[in-house]
């Protein structure tokens, strides 16, 4: 009895071929196990590749290509086991494609954009990127969106089409060498040659500032309240916070050197000049026994 139910034909397809309940159950089991095995094998290969010198982004790309390739093979195997010819999906697939094309344009756009990002690799897993006003590290590039972890710890899910169609600043596309600068203003009358020399010494003595290209000191401008100097230098960093720490450490060093040399770091100040035909007579007059007073001005 159970054997008859197991082999009972449920429906027929083209050319008199029939599909039984056993075939459907085996096909579902094969499809499920195939998806799980494809995922496990592809992730195992990615894990092995990450232990080598291969870039993380390339390993992730290999994992995705292998997973989808094995998924296609499993699907074709299931269809063959069910004796379903692929040609029968041609007409239905065309109609479905038109409907899906109108109803899921954004999803398809992001899906195709994800494959373009995977192939061209303008951004990779682990890159420090700037999307609009957001700066963060790329954690993963999915089929629909890219996972970016901002420097403040907030996770962003950015559609792949946004990264492909808009301007994205990749800080670490070629390497992790980044140029930055520190600006400082000194009091008018300060010895500019000595200021430039101390700034260069501070940059040269910092162990996280690269020797090549050399740090550059620029006398930028005569400011309203200070003589403006800029120190440009290169450093090798993995994150935006590391860059800020290097700049902060350099400012500490510059402040100490200027203090020892007697050079005053400028601050905003304003001089007021009174143009009067005669000197002003200013008196302090007491208004009570408490000692408080007021200033009276007489011309």
Say if strands 293-298 and 281-286 run parallel, antiparallel, or are unpaired: antiparallel
Half-sphere exposure of 111 toward its Cβ, with a 13 Å CA cutoff?
Answer: 6
Q: What is the 3-state secondary structure (H, E, C) of 185-233?
A: EECCCCCHHHHHHHHHHHHHHCCCECCCCCCEEEEEEECCCCEEEEEEE
Do the domain assignments include residue 40?
Answer: yes
pLDDT tens across 217-261, in order?
A: 999 999 888 999 999 999 988 788 888 999 999 999 999 999 999
> What is the pTM (predicted TM-score) of this model?
0.57
Q: What is the CATH number of the domain that holds 216?
A: 3.30.70.100
Of residues 178 and 16, the one with the higher pLDDT is: 178
Instruction: Share the mean pLDDT of the chain.
Output: 81
Residue 63, domain member (yes or no): yes
Domain that holds residue 155: 122-170
CATH at residue 166 = 2.30.30.60
Place of tokens 């007073």: 293
Residue 180's CB is within 10 A of a number of other CB atoms, namely 16
Q: What number of other Cβ atoms are within 10 A of residue 152's Cβ?
A: 10
In a domain, 232, yes or no: yes
Query: Which long-range contacts does 211-220 make (Cβ < 8 Å, 24+ apart)?
Result: 213/179, 219/192, 220/183
Q: Which residues contact 39 (CB under 8 A, 6 or more apart)?
A: 67
Under 8 Å between Cβ of 60 and 125? yes
Q: What percent of the chain has pLDDT over 70?
A: 80
Task: Give me the number of domains the chain comprises.
Answer: 3
**Is 275 within the bounds of a domain?**
no
**Host H or E run for residue 64:** helix 56-81
Q: Which segments of 104-183 does DSSP mark as H helices, in order?
A: 105-120, 160-165
The answer to whether residue 116 is domain-embedded is no
Does residue 272 fall inside a structural domain?
no
Query: Mean of the pLDDT values across residues 271-287?
Result: 75
């Amino acid at each position: 009895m159970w054997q008859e139910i197991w082999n009972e034909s449920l429906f027929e397809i083209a050319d008199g071929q029939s599909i039984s309940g056993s075939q459907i159950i085996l096909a579902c089991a094969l499809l499920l196990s195939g998806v799980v095995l494809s995922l496990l094998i592809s992730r195992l290969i990615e894990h092995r590749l990450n232990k080598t010198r291969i870039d993380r982004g390339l390993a992730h790309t290999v994992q995705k290509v292998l997973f989808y390739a094995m998924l296609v093979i499993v699907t074709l195997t299931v269809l063959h086991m069910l004796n379903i010819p692929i040609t029968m999906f041609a007409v239905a697939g065309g109609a479905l494609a038109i409907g899906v094309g109108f109803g899921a344009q954004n999803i398809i756009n992001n899906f195709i954009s994800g494959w373009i990002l995977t192939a061209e690799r303008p951004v990779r897993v682990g890159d420090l990127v700037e999307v609009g006003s957001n700066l963060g590290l790329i954690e993963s590039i999915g089929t629909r969106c890219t996972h970016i972890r901002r420097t403040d710890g907030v996770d962003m899910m950015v559609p792949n089409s946004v990264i492909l169609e808009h301007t994205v600043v990749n800080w670490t596309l070629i390497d992790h060498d980044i140029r930055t600068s520190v600006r400082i203003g000194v009091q008018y009358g300060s010895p500019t040659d000595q200021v430039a020399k101390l700034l260069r010494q501070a940059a040269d003595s910092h162990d996280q500032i690269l020797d090549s290209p050399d740090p550059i000191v620029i006398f930028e401008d005569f400011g309203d309240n200070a003589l403006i100097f800029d120190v440009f230098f290169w450093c090798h960093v993995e994150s935006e916070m590391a860059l800020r720490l290097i700049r902060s450490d350099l400012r500490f060093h510059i402040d100490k050197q200027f203090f020892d040399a007697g050079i005053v770091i400028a601050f905003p100040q304003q001089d007021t000049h009174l143009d009067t035909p005669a000197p002003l007579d200013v008196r302090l007059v007491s208004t009570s026994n408490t000692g408080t007073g007021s200033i009276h001005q007489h011309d």
